[in-house]
Structure 1
Amino acid sequence: MAIGHALIDLTPLRSSPAFRRLWIGRAFSGFGGQLTLVAVMFQVWHATGSTVWTGAVGLAQAVPLIVFGLFAGAAIDRVDRRKFYLVTTVGQAVCAILLAVQGFFGQLPVIAVLLLVAVQSCFVAGGGPAARTFLPRLLPGDQLAAGLALNRIAFQGAMLLGPALGGLLLGWLGVGGCYLLDAITFVLAFYGAFGLPPMRPDGEVSRPGLHGVLDGLTFLVRSPVVRGALLTDLATTVLSMPISLFPLVNAERFGNNPRTLGLFLSAMAVGGVLASVWSGVFTRMARPGLVMLCGSATWGVALALFGIAPNPWLGLAFLVLAGAADTVSVVSRGTIVQLHTPDALRGRVAAAEQIVGQAGPDLGNLRGGLVAGATSGLVALVSGGLLCVAAVALVGASIPGLRRFSTAASAQSR
């Protein structure tokens, strides 16, 4: 395969000005969001000195996504999705401005800061799924995987660079400066949103309230390919999420060196970025279901091997492999979900996908911690990796349509 063919496919950025503007806006606002996360964690820690309160920051972000996500998805499938996305972007920007004001002119009590974070996450619960519905309208079917890979590398870039830069900016500008920079990035988010065409759902409009939510859940239950894609994601995250185990494994196996611990997280991010840069290798493949299953199984194998690695450098290599496999799986899963979901249901399915992506890792880290507490970090890692491989194999064997799903056949039916 030629090098140019293996590198990330930039065709969506060249061929669709609307996608290009949206990608730029979301890339910068995602980066700003990482600055705010660092600033909130610092502000809460500085005010309380309590890990319970810093842990509550994650709770304030996660609970609204899980509680309101499906109802937001039903609303997205009833209205012009562009207008809905604009409203949620305005809400997020206002919260960022309020955080900046309190950062500069008198910091609020911790509970009020967490409330602002939770309100902002309510808008994210709607804006995230709305943005996921745009790609099939902006890109042809054969460019969807490339568009998702571009979104993935923007997300990983923000996750990799945002916290590091946020730490530097905290020392220079303080928490108010970090919040203000996040607010400024929403200018580019609006640039992307205003460049979108009107996007009313095609087909039957979602029923209001709980009825619409139930219709979306019914589709997930009755669609084996989409259901299998989400179950594969749950298999990888719930059964084998390793983050909570890193401190224990570092203490058990590698002398409790803090530098090694920091490298564990960076290694997974590096693997993800490398897979995104070379995503042309798998985004051009015609069977994303098979690619997803292989990527998910590789994730489990890599984490099991990390658990028994005899030295930290080999362990880091397995974590790089795990991070790359995760990106392959995520991009392929997104391709399957986008191509297999009717437009009228995309908001609800995108909301379910967002909830799975939020809740799965949290549950997986909890599982890993509980197993490690009863046994050891090695047992938790190896058992989780092997359970992941077994679950992925079960999903693949029980849903043959997932293995056989072809982007070529889907494009012909669109």
Structure 2
Amino acid sequence: MTAGPPNPDPAPDVDARTASASEPAADAVTDRPNRNWRRIGPDLRPLSIPAYRRLFLGQVFTVVGAMVTTVAVQQQVFDLTGSSAWVGIASLVALVPLVVFGLLGGAIADTYDRRKLLMVTSVGIAVTSIGLWLAALIGNESVWTVFALLAVQQGFFAVNQPTRSAIIPRIVPAELVPSANALGMTVFSIGVIVGPLLVGMLIPIIGVPWLYFLDALTLVGILYAVIKLPPVPPLGERRGRAKVIDGLAYLRLKPLLLMTFVVDIIAMVCGMPRALFPQMAQETFGGAVGGGFELGVLNAALAVGALIGGLTGGWIHRVHRQGIAIIAAIVVWGASMALYGTTSILWLAAIYLAVGGWADLVSAVYRSTILQVNATDEMRGRMQGVFTVVVAGGPRVADFVHGLVAAATSTTFAVVAGGIATIVLTLLAATLGRSLVRYDTRRHD
């Protein structure tokens, strides 16, 4: 059977070793919340673990600033060039360091203390945000300056994310990992909502430069939270630096893990029309030149759906056929994106995008959980590095592809065709790669 075993790592023992003595044991946390609330609302049990609560708090500060910078870069590049194709190229520029340092970052996370890595990379992200602020403040007219700073920032991001994700199974027991992932993604969704709305409201008031400065300020919060984390050194005996190639070889032996990456690449590359939002906000939905309310709504709608999914996700941890849940969620995602491409009514487009955001959260929670629970700690950083490359890199490839297709045809064709391709290719992949369909958390094969 291809379904992997439950997490073999002694999470409670590691927790006792890495956290302070005053922190409650993870096993004692599982029975505290009201069961009726967990059936409807989010499962809050992971927040009873102090180490996870600190990691969660740091993420709250990070996501708003990160989304502000993401949307600000898109808008700045579109303002400088007037072309969605250049917005797509910006994402392609960001993809290269994501791929290179995502893989290297995973190996680094398997070699060094993960808490220290979070501190170093958070400082790096803040410094590059300040660089974007200064360049825009002095009236930089070169899109290549924006590209260079963006590439450096993405390099730090690519090390930061696998490190953060690899910490979760060390401080949270396996049965709470889906709930912890759902909470983290809910916070991310809130940031995605607040970030674009802030951009839409603040661009006419303070301009793009000070948006980058706002991002740098938010990273002060995560530094404080990370400093308070316990040390998270690699488990077991160290035998030199972890090798990227060993992680890739490990992945080849785990078809279940590989399939989670394949279906996500399909969903993101074919079905994510983010690069077209500036153009569609202006041309399809009648928004103002240079960004505004319509652009904010389009960017926020996906996150609203994900937020609704997170706030009503008490059922998520009870699903055992997680692979089938991933496939169904991606099919819903593709259908919602195709429908979005057919309308010129803003509120209807927002509904379609929100449904897609809900489906994306469900898929992401189960993909993260399968990867974290079925990978050993010695490989977990490298697996999370691959996850970062796929999750962060896939939408950037989508930006490039959608930008080129829209420039050659139309935004409507690019979005509708992408949604349909998502459904067809996902079902084909599920048919050919049966490990995802067969996966059941109740079977320990």
Common fold: TM-score over 0.5: yes
* Cα distance in 2, alignment partners of residues 37 and 195 from structure 1: 28
Query: Structure 2: which 5+ runs fail to align?
Result: 1-34, 288-292
Q: How big is each residue's C-alpha offset from its partner over 1:247-305, in whole Å with a ceiling of 9 and x where there is no partner?
A: 88889xx9653377765444333222211211222233223222111111221233344
Specify the alignment match of 2:362 in structure 1: 328
Native 8 Å contact 1:249 1:378 kept in 2 = no
TM alignment of 1:23-102, pairs within 5 A: 23-37=56-70, 48=80, 51=83, 57-99=90-132
What does residue 154 of structure 1 align with? Answer: 187
Q: Write out aligned runs for 1:8-407 (5 A).
A: 8-13=42-47, 15-37=48-70, 48=80, 51=83, 57-99=90-132, 106=138, 110=142, 111-112=144-145, 114-170=147-203, 172=205, 177-203=210-236, 208=241, 212-244=243-275, 257-258=286-287, 263-307=297-341, 316-368=350-402, 380-407=414-441
Q: Give the secondary structure class of the aligned counterpart of 2:231.
A: coil
**How far apart are the structure 2 equivalents of 1:323 and 1:100?**
30
CA deviation profile, 1:87-113 (whole Å, cap 9, x unmatched): 212222333445556677x56674555
Decide whether the 8 Å contact of 1:74 with 1:206 is kept in 2.
Answer: no
Tell me if the contact between 2:285 and 2:345 (Cα under 8 Å) persists in the aligned partners.
no
Q: Aligned-pair distance for 1:385?
A: 3.1
1:299/1:326 contact within 8 Å kept: yes
Tell me, in whole angstroms, the C-alpha distance in 1 between the residues paired with 2:65 and 2:349.
Answer: 32
- TM score, norm. by length of structure 2: 0.78
What amino acid is the match of 1:84?
L
Q: Quick one: distance in 2 between partners of 1:30 and 1:310?
A: 30
Q: In structure 1, what is the Cα distance between the partners aligned to 2:99 and 2:206?
A: 33
Distance 1:22 1:219 in 2: 28
Paired AA for residue 184 in structure 1: L
* Change beyond 3 A, Cα 1:388–1:207: farther
Work out the CA distance in 2 between the residues paired with 1:58 and 1:144: 31
Cα distance change of structure 1 residues 206 and 389 upon mapping to structure 2, 3 Å threshold: farther
Contact 2:189 2:307 in 1 (8 A): yes
Change (3 A) 1:255 1:302: closer
- 1:159-204 CA-to-partner distances (Å, cap 9, x unmatched) read 2111322444455555564344333322221122122222222247
Distance 1:285 1:171, change over 3 A: same
Paired residue type of 1:29: T
Higher fraction of helix? 1
CA distance in 2, matches of 1:331, 1:360: 17
Q: Contact 1:239–1:388 at 8 Å: present in 2 too? A: yes
Deviating more after overlay: 242-251 vs 316-325: 242-251
Identify if the C-alpha distance between structure 1 residues 250 and 87 changes in structure 2 by more than 3 Å, giving closer, same or farther: closer
Specify the code of the residue in structure 2 equivalent to 1:28.
Answer: F
Task: Give the superposition deviation at 1:131.
Answer: 0.5
Aligned to 2:24: none
In the TM superposition, residue 312 of structure 1 has moved relative to its aligned partner by 6.5
RMSD: 3.5
For 1:235, what is the secondary structure of its paired residue?
Answer: helix
